[in-house]
Amino acid sequence: MTYTEILSISAAVIITLVFLFFLTKRNTAAKTKKTNPSVVTALSAFFKGEDAAALEQLKNIALKGQANPEIYLILGFLQKKKGDYTRAAQIHEMMLGSNDIDKEFKNALYSELAYDYMMAGQHAKAVALLKQESQVLNKPENIITMARSALALQSYDNAINYHTKYNKLTGKTIPGFFEKCMVEKTVNAGGGQNAAKYIKSALETNKACRPARIIKALLYMQGEKNLKAIDEFKAILEEGLLRDMNDFKNVEKAYIAAGKEAELHTLLRELTSKGAINPFIYLALADFYEYNNDSHSAKILLESYIELPDAKIIAAKEYALRYNNKLLLHALHDTFSYKCRECGFETNDYKDDCPKCAAYDSIYPK
């Protein structure tokens, strides 16, 4: 079952429960209102997964002034699903102005609206909204929203304080959040003792934090400690922590700065001969062969890689493109290349944060 299917089923369950809630309330009324046929048609489209049709029909109902809170709830959900968080926020703002919702439902809307603000990039509004609503301030999901918004605003100490609060409340951590705070503080510190201190804190929390490891090596280079940088980058290669070719370019810079480029190519050959499973090691060595006009060796290398049991899809796609293997390219066309190590979300584009669970630096080659 795909993420989209799970999302749709979850939404259907939530919407159904909300309808039952409102139905129970309204059954106590003296008069029973007839259901608008347009609403039935719109909801039918929604539950069939026909999002575009449902959205259009529900918008028409709302424009005619016939929408109740349930209709706006579904409209907000469909706008979120489209990725239009600004419009979702506008819808939830309208709902909060309604007199037809009770306090409990209104509190739930505050959480929804704060999340919409955060996802729309309106981080200050997200924090301000939750701060003024004390009854929702200590909900775990809202603490996460405040922590992520504070981080986006580069208010690192506040972000860490919110994260600590979330940890005390739930016994859990937001995956990679502390490390991300430290990495960003390092980048903004621009080098020096503070930068080294922040990276040390990140690595004490997670020794395999790829961005922190790379920045640590780059800090060595800034301090003209090229041999130490090489040692760090060598470990990164051996541990398979490369996530794209930009990572490898940083490795290459260190070896070139130390006059050790030949040693890098020897290391790459050793790793590939031992069956390393990180695709970017093979792609880097193949690029080296191509640069030296040895396309034959590059082709053989990539062929040997894609025959490995644990071969990653990225190098196979690259092989198909380089050598015009239409059969292989067709077979891999709809296959995702990256996967989140935290929640399993799959994508063809790596990102710093997982789009599904927001874990930091968790998207790696499948």
User: Which one, of 357, 316, 359, lies nearest residue 335 by Cα?
Assistant: 316
DSSP 8-class letter at 360: B
Third-level CATH fold of 177-365: 1.25.40
Q: What pLDDT does residue 99 have?
A: 75
Q: What pLDDT does residue 30 have?
A: 41
Q: What pLDDT does residue 54 have?
A: 77
Q: What pLDDT does residue 112 have?
A: 92
The Cα-based distances of 144 to 141, 202, 231, 352, 362 in angstroms read 5, 19, 37, 17, 18
Q: What pLDDT does residue 206 have?
A: 95
Q: N- to C-terminal Cα distance for the chain?
A: 18
Q: Say which amino acid occupies 263.
A: E
SS3 for 348?
coil
Mean pLDDT of 65-83: 78
What whole-number percentage of the chain has pLDDT above 90? 63
Mean pLDDT of 169-179: 95
Mean pLDDT of 192-220: 95
Of the pLDDT bands very low, low, confident and very high (cuts 50, 70, 90), residue 117 is: very high
d(CA 340, CA 182): 21
Locus of tokens 């955060």: 118
Compare 203 and 99 and report the one with higher pLDDT: 203
Q: Collect all residues with Cβ–Cβ distance below 8 Å to 83 and sequence separation of at least 6.
A: none
Compare 319 and 192 and report the one with higher pLDDT: 319
Mean pLDDT of 137-154: 95
How many CB atoms are located within 10 Å of the residue 287 CB?
16
Mean pLDDT of 11-15: 53
Mean pLDDT of 60-72: 69
Of the pLDDT bands very low, low, confident and very high (cuts 50, 70, 90), residue 97 is: confident
Q: Does the pLDDT value for residue 18 go beyond 60?
A: no
Q: Determine the longest span between alpha carbons in the chain, in angstroms.
A: 86
Of the pLDDT bands very low, low, confident and very high (cuts 50, 70, 90), residue 28 is: very low
Q: Tell me the average pLDDT of the chain.
A: 87
Can you read off the two tokens belonging to residue 131? 């701060």
User: Which one, of 243, 203, 241, lies nearest residue 219 by Cα?
Assistant: 203
The domains of the chain are located at: 3-170, 177-365
How many CB atoms are located within 10 Å of the residue 265 CB?
17
The alpha-carbon radius of gyration of the chain (Å, integer) is 26
For the domain covering 3-170, report its CATH number. 1.25.40.10
Q: Does the pLDDT value for residue 294 go beyond 70?
A: yes
Asked if 315 and 335 count as a contact pair (C-beta separation under 8 A), the reply is no
Q: Say which amino acid occupies 347.
A: T
Long-range contacts of 236-239 (CB under 8 A, 24+ apart): 236/210, 237/267, 237/268, 237/271, 237/278, 237/281, 238/271, 239/208
Q: What pLDDT does residue 103 have?
A: 85
Q: Which of 75-84, 143-152, 253-262 has the lowest mean pLDDT?
A: 75-84
Q: What pLDDT does residue 12 have?
A: 53
- What pLDDT digit, counting tens, does each position of 263-291 carry? 999 999 999 999 999 999 999 999 999 99
Of the pLDDT bands very low, low, confident and very high (cuts 50, 70, 90), residue 347 is: very high
Of the pLDDT bands very low, low, confident and very high (cuts 50, 70, 90), residue 334 is: confident
